Structures are given as structure tokens and as C-alpha cells.
Structure 1
Amino acid sequence: MAKIVFLPLPEAGHIHATFGLAKQLASRGHEIGYMAPPDGEAFLRHQPWPFTPILEDVLPRGYQAELHSRLADPDLTPAAHRELTREFIRRRGERNRQILFGSAFESRLRDSGADLLLVDATFTLPALAAHKVGIPAFQLCTNLALHRDAAVPPLTSHHIPTGQLRSQLRIRFSWEWLYLHTFMPGGERMRAPVREFYRRHPDASPGDFHAHLQIGPHLNVPTLVTCTPGFDFPRASGGIHYLGPCVDRERTEPPLPPELASGDAPLILCSLGSHGDRVRAHRHFFQAVIDAVARRPQWRLLMAVGGQVGTDGFGPLPPNVTVVDRVPQLTALKRASVMITHGGLNSVKECICLGVPMIVYPLVFDQPGNAARVVHHGLGLRGDIRQASVERVGAQLDEVLGNSAYRTRVQTLQRDFLEADGSSLGARTLEQFLQHPETRATPRHQRAAT
């Protein structure tokens, strides 16, 4: 049995997305641990695995909450916003240098006793640091793969590939445009310490910046994706290992509000995820959903709006609408007929695992690409949150709830998801790597292209 240590970003979506895989591994006798800046510990409070804080001086406990709170302050001046941004960039640069060159982080890695590190693919620098102490490290994608692929557009793109020349050129241009941005001042600040690291450690795992949504290079180590290929677009590149959705479907959640716990009325679940409440402009979208459902009294709506928007900002609510700060998502999906979602991969996978069609209003990061896949596979519809109106939202709900083909297609992929997790595909894949070290060896003859 092995000791496997996760190094996620200290955010709810990134940490929660690892629990399904961690439980698979633990059930098969492996020892599990977590390492992250102190703010990550709160998301592990109810889990049995030990947590090791890192980078406490650069990212002290409470820093993220304070930053988001100050940025959300409606009285924040432009000068204060610029100062917050400069301080954030300074801390990020210091974090990167401590990961690559700091003795404290290297010591934590040595003391971890890990046989394998699973490093968040959106922040790959710890995988380079692991090279110095001789611990194998893989890139764990809690989203879909982030490196360049000739057949697949970046996840930040709404484009659905068709295989035609025009689509191929559009995909190529999108990747070239993203790569050029890595030479801008912000990208150069990242490249400089990475180049320095490779000068000191020329035999480290090769990497390049032909990727997106990654802090650091994409490395030539196994890329593990917590999904199945059935949801992804067909890819031209290899080296990707799909672990199954790794959804923790047994997690403990509070019950639904009593008025929603039962009944025959179709339940619509609406949530924009853990970051969706930070932009006050989303209030008009929430109001459009409320008004659309108000015109259809045969339905019920459960909407999570988050703490920044607040539950008291919508006036008197219709009797078939319930608005809360946070929602027990898995519990709600077991009752839901459709989910209106931002399209984060965690939410999309949970919808599929529970057989629930979606209407996706993507916001940022990988959400446009996830929404494109939802549409491509016929699992639901997508919309533009800037153009959301009562009429458009209502028409989309009428279409998805009135056409059983969406649920049928979701249920087809649901079987694929449940079979993968039921067979512990993720844990078995990692065990194969651990049993056959030659399959994870990095070709030392390849030069790092940074």
C-alpha cells in the first residue's frame, strides 16, 4: 500500500473534487494526506485525512476570505483596488519562488513520506519541486485536460469542434492566441523562475507553456482527468488518463427545506457555484429565473444566491420559489428535474451522476468549454448570462422539461459515469502506475521548452 498526498488549490471546488478519488484509494488500503495553504483546511474539516499547511507566511489563514470580501466592497476605490491587485501579484510571485526554491516547502515534501503526489493541474510548480526530493508527482485535473490539443479548443472557448477546416483553423488560432499571452508581462513573471529552476535542475520533468488555465508549465508527467472520455470531445493528443468522475455521492449534506423535500411538482435547481455570488451583476439573472418560474406555478424553484447577493434582495417571493444562500447540491439533485448551473465541472458531473439535464450559463475559466460539451452531447442547453431575460429563461425551461430526450441522453452518460466510479477506475489506474514505475518515467532526453 502507498501513501498518496494531494496538493490542491485551497478552494472548495478544487478540494471537494478530490474526495471521490481519495475515498476510492482509502477503501483499498492506501494512506491519504493533503497539503495546501492554511485556507484549504476548512474544506477538509469533516474528512478523516491529515492536513499539512504550507506557505503560511505568504498565504496566511484567512487571506482569501479577506481578499474576496474587500474586492466585493461596493465602496472600494480604484486606487485601493489597484493596491489589492499589486499585493496579490506580489504574494503569488513569492509563493511561486518558495515552491520552486524554498527550503521550507522542500522540507515539508520530504517529511510527508509520500510515495506519490497528486498535484493540482492548475498549479503545477509543486510537481517540479517534488523532483528535488525524488517523489513522483502527477498532474490531477479536477477540470478537463488543460494542454494544447489540435482537435479540441481551449476550455475558455464556446466553440464546438466540427472537424471541418474552418473549425480546425479556429481551434489553432485560439491556442496560438493563448500562447502569445504567456509572453506578456504577467506570463514572463511566471516564466522567469521556471527557467531558473530548469537551469538548476536540467533533468527535471520537461514542460511547456502551450496550455491554459495553468500557473506554471504543463509537464510531461501523467495527466489524470477526473471524468470519462464520453463527456469530453475526442482528442488528438495522448498521455491523458481518465479516472472516471470520482464524484463523492455519499457525502453528508443537510436536508432540503421541508416544503421541497417531497411532492410531485418538477423541481428546478439554480446555482452558480462557489464563485457565482461574487459578481453583483448576477442579481438580474437570478431575478429573471424567479420571474420565469413565477409564471409557471406548476413548478418549484430552489435557488442558491450566495452571501454577497443575499436572500433578501428580491422582494416578496412567489409561493413556488425558495431562495437560500447555499444549497445541499447532491440532496437537491436527487429531487431535481433540471439544474440551471454555471457549468463548473463538479456541478456538471453531479448532474450527470444523478441523471439531471442542465441549462448552463457559463461565467469564467473552464465553464464555456464544459457548456459546449453539454450542448454537443445533448445533455441540455446553454445561455448567455448577459442576455438572460424572463422570456429566454422560461423558453429554455419549457424546452428541457418538455423534451424527454435530454434526460434520456443524460441517463446514457450516467451509466458510463456510475460504472467507472463503481469499479474504482481512478484508484485502479493509480495502482497500475505505482506497480509499474517504468510507465511514469520521464524521458530525460527531452529538453524543457519553457
Structure 2
Amino acid sequence: MAHIVFMTYGITSYLNTSFAVAAGLRARGHRVTYVSSLDVETAVTTQGFNFMLLADEARIRQDPERLQLERLPGRQRYQQRDALIRVGQRQRDYYLESDEWSRMLEVLQPDVLCIDEELPEAIIRLSSHSIPMLLVQYIGDTRYRPGLPPASSHLVPDGSLQSRVKIQVEWLKLWAKRGLTHLLAPLFYAGTDRRSIIRALAKQVGFDYGRAAFHHWFPMTFPDIPTLILAAPVFDFAPPPQVDGAYVGPMVWSDRVDAVDEGTSAAVEAFLQRVVAAFRQRPEWDLVLASGVETAVSHFEPIPENVLVCERVPQLRLLEQADVVLTHGGIGTINECITYGVPMITYSTGKMEQNGSAARVEFHEMGLRSAIDDTPAEAIAAQIAHVLSNPHYRANVTKMQALYQQYHAENRAVEHIETVLHEDGSGV
């Protein structure tokens, strides 16, 4: 049997999605190891998989000076140019001089590398080794297509000229901002910005930098490297006319051990307090609220009898009983809600794909979307009541659930990885 290595950035949502693939591979007799520069050992080993920490890169990622700079507001951060260059130089030295990734390969001897698409440094460095590589993408259709908005956009296309113009403007703004950054960053950071480091790394290992694409939603993509897309095209506004990568379906592993331990920002905490206030007005409803480990339960007092506040919750177990889910719109939670047939109300924080995922929930009429900053408790209660009293939301989720179940039944991700093994001659 083969050894499959997942190289991951360590985002909880992405990890949870990948566990379903890893479990399927393990059931076929394969060995699975996770590698990351973020210490997610507990999250990985709790599921029964092996884990290796890239300790040197972890020190770069957790550089105290870097973390201190990241906590500063944008303008204040850019006033610390010398410090930013020092941090960037340490990153450059690591990526161009460290042999940590080569040592990792020597220890693990993987038959296939599955690398998060958001790790271009690893993709470029490891492409110089003769090991089959698959990129892993968790969001869906992030490529540029005329008439469809970027994954981070709140826009819902309706096919009209006005809609198409608005969407194209969104893309133009994204490209303009990215182009300006690519032009100015090497000067401001004195060649220690991320793109300059990646260019230098590509030159060092003989990787053709022209293989990278910069006009899609992700800042850098690699169209000629096979990609596993752990999403369903039916969730998008329109199925892609030609698939740039293999859609293997949204992966939800029902036997997963949940460990939701992310922090909560001040804005999100204020929103959650309004949610508790909404349930205080409706004692006939029950609420289970995941606050995160950094938010004290006392912040929600007085807590009514129909509200349970927890740092962590067994999300999949709760979805089996939920009538509606209030979520920030992360694609992982949305896919889990669809898998369990639960309508949603999304309150996006604007991070990553949340705006776009919330727009797609509304487009397919599987729930509502609302603003996280200025929705009062009374409006939250009214939105919940609306979803609960209109059965077509659950009916639409149920229709999408049936399509999702086809992907689960076909086990496409495992089949695709094993096809790569057969083609390489590693065997299964």
C-alpha cells in the first residue's frame, strides 16, 4: 500500500474537509501523514493520522516580531518598514537556504504529495523532486470566468448587463490592487516580499515561473498541475463549462472528532451577544453557541436557560438535530450543513470566501444572508423565525444534499488519488 502525505496550511476548516479523504485512503489500506508548519498535531492525531511539524518553518511563521507587526493596523504596520524588511529577510533565508523539506521527504518517503493550493513555496520547491503531486483546493470554482464574481464577492449574478458590468468591475479592482502590490512591494520590502521570494525560489530550483497564473481569485495558481477540488460545482452559480481540475465533491467525515478552538474577534463577539439577546426574546427556541477558547462565557451573561455557551462544540452531532444554523459563511460549515440538510443564515465577516459562499446560499435559496456588524437582536430573531416558518429553505437544502450524497457514495477523491498511484507505478 502507498504512503500519502498531505501538506497543509493548517486551517481548521480545510483540515476537517481533508480528514474525509484521508479516512477513505486509510480504509483502502494506505498510510496517511500530515505535514504542516502550524502545530496541528492534536487535531490530526486525534483522528488517528500521523503528523510531522516543519519546525524551522514554524519558527518563521511564529516569528515574534512578525506576529507583533501583524497585530498593528495597516498604516502603523507600514510605518515599520525596517522591521518588515528584517522579518522578510528571515523568511527569504529560510525558503532559499533551508533543507527542511528535503529532509522531510527523506524521512517520510511519500508516494504522492497532496499540497494545499495556497502553499506556492512548497509547490515550487517540491516540484523538483520526482514525486507525483496533486494540489488540493477546498473552495470551488476560484478561476476567472466572465459573468461570475470572485469567490470573495457578495454579488449574485442574474445575467443582466448591469450584473455583468458590476462583476467585471469587481475583477478589475482585484487585478488593479494585485498589480499595484506586485509593482510596489519589491521596492518597499527591498526584495523580501513574498512574490520576490517565490520568484527567487523558482529560479533556484529551475521551476518555470511562467507556469504560474495570476489572474484568478487566488493570487497564484498552477493550471498545469493536477488539482483536486474538494467542492461540488452544483453549489456555484453556474457549473464550470470546462473543469480546470478534478471536482471530487465536498468531503464530510461523519466520524470526525471535532476540535473547534479558534478565537473570536471583538466584532464577532458583539454579534454573538446579540444572538444570545435574540434567543432571550424567544424562550421556546434552544441555542447552542460556540464561542471559541479566547472568549469567556461570562461575556454573554446573563445567559438564559434556553442558551448553552461552549468553547467547543461537536458540530456534526449538533447538525443531526439542528433546525437552522447561524454561520459566518465558511465553506466547510456550509458544506456540512448541506450534507446534514440544515438551512442556514450567514453573517459573513468578509474573510476569504465567506462573502461568496453566503451569496451562493442565498442564490440557491438554502437560507438567508445578513450583515454581521449592524443586525440587531430583534432582526436576528425575525430572520430565524422566517427560515423556520418557510419550509422551502429546508426543501432546497435537501435537494442539494441529495447531489452531495452522490459524491460521497462515489468516493471520487480516493479514486482519483489511486489513479495517480497506478499511473506512477507505485501500486495500490
Q: TM-score range by the shorter chain?
A: 0.7 to 0.9
| Residue in structure 1 matched with residue 232 of structure 2 by the alignment | 228
Q: How does 1:66-105 map to 2 (within 5 A)?
A: 94-95=90-91, 98-99=94-95, 102-105=98-101
Give yes or no for the alignment of 1:297 onto 2:296: no
| Residue in structure 2 matched with residue 447 of structure 1 by the alignment | none
Name the CA distance, whole Å, in 1 between partners of 2:315 and 2:77: 33
Name the CA distance, whole Å, in 1 between partners of 2:210 and 2:28: 29
| Residue in structure 1 matched with residue 190 of structure 2 by the alignment | none
| Residue in structure 1 matched with residue 122 of structure 2 by the alignment | 126
TM-fit CA distance, 1:369: 0.6
Judging changes above 3 Å, is the alpha-carbon distance between structure 1 residues 165 and 297 closer, same or farther for their aligned structure 2 residues?
Answer: same
Give yes or no for the alignment of 1:333 onto 2:319: yes
Give yes or no for the alignment of 1:212 onto 2:217: yes
Structure 2 unaligned spans of 5+: 187-192
| Residue in structure 2 matched with residue 377 of structure 1 by the alignment | 364
| Residue in structure 2 matched with residue 158 of structure 1 by the alignment | 154
Q: Which deviates further from its counterpart, 410-419 or 359-368?
A: 410-419
TM-fit CA distance, 1:393: 0.7
> Does the 8 Å CA contact 2:154/2:355 hold for their aligned counterparts?
yes
TM-fit CA distance, 1:84: 9.7
* Counterpart secondary structure, 1:57: helix
Give yes or no for the alignment of 1:356 onto 2:345: no
* Per-residue deviation, residues 105-158 of structure 1 (Å, max 9, x unmatched): 233234432222111122232111121112232221122243323342111100
Letter of the 1:289 counterpart: V
Give yes or no for the alignment of 1:402 onto 2:389: yes
Judging changes above 3 Å, is the alpha-carbon distance between structure 1 residues 121 and 418 closer, same or farther for their aligned structure 2 residues?
Answer: same
| Residue in structure 1 matched with residue 265 of structure 2 by the alignment | 279
* Counterpart secondary structure, 2:297: coil
| Residue in structure 1 matched with residue 143 of structure 2 by the alignment | 147
Name the CA distance, whole Å, in 2 between partners of 1:211 and 1:61: 28
Name the CA distance, whole Å, in 2 between partners of 1:136 and 1:168: 39
Q: Which deviates further from its counterpart, 27-36 or 203-212?
A: 203-212
Judging changes above 3 Å, is the alpha-carbon distance between structure 1 residues 93 and 149 closer, same or farther for their aligned structure 2 residues?
Answer: farther
Name the CA distance, whole Å, in 2 between partners of 1:153 and 1:418: 27
> Which of the residues 357, 366, 380 maps onto 1:393?
380
Name the CA distance, whole Å, in 2 between partners of 1:135 and 1:422: 29
Letter of the 1:122 counterpart: E
| Residue in structure 1 matched with residue 328 of structure 2 by the alignment | 342
* Counterpart secondary structure, 1:139: strand
Give yes or no for the alignment of 1:59 onto 2:58: yes
Name the CA distance, whole Å, in 1 between partners of 2:117 and 2:400: 25
Letter of the 1:32 counterpart: V
| Residue in structure 2 matched with residue 424 of structure 1 by the alignment | 411
* Counterpart secondary structure, 1:150: coil
Q: Which deviates further from its counterpart, 176-185 or 340-349?
A: 176-185
Judging changes above 3 Å, is the alpha-carbon distance between structure 1 residues 136 and 184 closer, same or farther for their aligned structure 2 residues?
Answer: farther
Judging changes above 3 Å, is the alpha-carbon distance between structure 1 residues 430 and 99 closer, same or farther for their aligned structure 2 residues?
Answer: farther
Name the CA distance, whole Å, in 1 between partners of 2:400 and 2:181: 43
> Does the 8 Å CA contact 2:148/2:157 hold for their aligned counterparts?
yes
Name the CA distance, whole Å, in 2 between partners of 1:194 and 1:68: 21
Judging changes above 3 Å, is the alpha-carbon distance between structure 1 residues 68 and 394 closer, same or farther for their aligned structure 2 residues?
Answer: farther
* Counterpart secondary structure, 1:60: helix
Judging changes above 3 Å, is the alpha-carbon distance between structure 1 residues 159 and 4 closer, same or farther for their aligned structure 2 residues?
Answer: same
Q: Which deviates further from its counterpart, 201-210 or 117-126?
A: 201-210
Structure 1 unaligned spans of 5+: 255-272, 439-450
Q: Which deviates further from its counterpart, 241-250 or 61-70?
A: 61-70
* Counterpart secondary structure, 2:267: helix
* Per-residue deviation, residues 258-294 of structure 1 (Å, max 9, x unmatched): xxxxxxxxxxxxxxx765x431122331122122222
TM-score (norm 2): 0.86
Letter of the 2:150 counterpart: P
Name the CA distance, whole Å, in 2 between partners of 1:376 and 1:110: 48
* Counterpart secondary structure, 1:19: helix
Q: Which deviates further from its counterpart, 307-316 or 144-153?
A: 144-153
Judging changes above 3 Å, is the alpha-carbon distance between structure 1 residues 95 and 368 closer, same or farther for their aligned structure 2 residues?
Answer: same
Equivalent residue pairs, number: 414
| Residue in structure 1 matched with residue 50 of structure 2 by the alignment | 50
Judging changes above 3 Å, is the alpha-carbon distance between structure 1 residues 107 and 149 closer, same or farther for their aligned structure 2 residues?
Answer: farther
* Counterpart secondary structure, 1:370: helix
Letter of the 1:287 counterpart: Q
| Residue in structure 1 matched with residue 30 of structure 2 by the alignment | 30
* Counterpart secondary structure, 2:316: helix
Root-mean-square deviation over aligned CA pairs? 3.2
| Residue in structure 2 matched with residue 20 of structure 1 by the alignment | 20
Q: Which deviates further from its counterpart, 427-436 or 112-121?
A: 427-436
* Per-residue deviation, residues 50-94 of structure 1 (Å, max 9, x unmatched): 22221x23423993999889988xxx9999977999868865664
* Counterpart secondary structure, 1:383: strand
| Residue in structure 2 matched with residue 240 of structure 1 by the alignment | 245
TM-fit CA distance, 1:413: 1.2
Judging changes above 3 Å, is the alpha-carbon distance between structure 1 residues 99 and 247 closer, same or farther for their aligned structure 2 residues?
Answer: farther
> Does the 8 Å CA contact 2:124/2:202 hold for their aligned counterparts?
no
Give yes or no for the alignment of 1:196 onto 2:196: no
TM-fit CA distance, 1:16: 2.2
TM-fit CA distance, 1:17: 2.0
Letter of the 1:137 counterpart: M
